[in-house]
Structure 1
Amino acid sequence: MKNEAEAFMSALTTLKLCWAIHKSNEAVRKCAGLLKRKFKENLAYEAMRKIESSSSPMLVITLAEWELGKLNRDEPLSN
């Protein structure tokens, strides 16, 4: 599961880079459509699907990052 979470964070970074290069919601949606095929976990796949179908994919990406940050703060420290 941890590898899947890391892959998801990497995918979000890729989508932000796509936006920075192309400045196009359509380009971000197409990239999300390609990236969603890489995920086996339902949550990551569904998040990519939401980004792909959103009229404002950067907002969805920002919310996903915020939610992941919230989850990371709630995790207990492991030794």
Structure 2
Amino acid sequence: MKASEFDTKFEAGEDIEGALDFARARRPNLESRRVNVDFPAWVVEGLDRQAKRLGVTRQSLIKMWIAQKLEHPVDGNPKL
């Protein structure tokens, strides 16, 4: 199916599920990459306190905070 035909069917509200291969679907820029960062003990303890207060894991807290800073940088420059 050509992209224009796909778009027309989608915009008309037709069922396009048969034209999609969900097994190969990817969301760009969401692939994970492992990064190791060393923090002083007092930082880890603070992260753990905040994570517990919010009911999330330390890793989730770090991801949320970094994503927020990238979306709304302190210096006012547009996000990366």
Higher relative contact order (CA 8 A, sep 6+): 1
Q: Which structure would you say has the larger Rg? A: 2
TM-score, length-normalised on structure 1? Answer: 0.32
Decide which structure has greater helix share.
1
TM-score, length-normalised on structure 2? Answer: 0.32
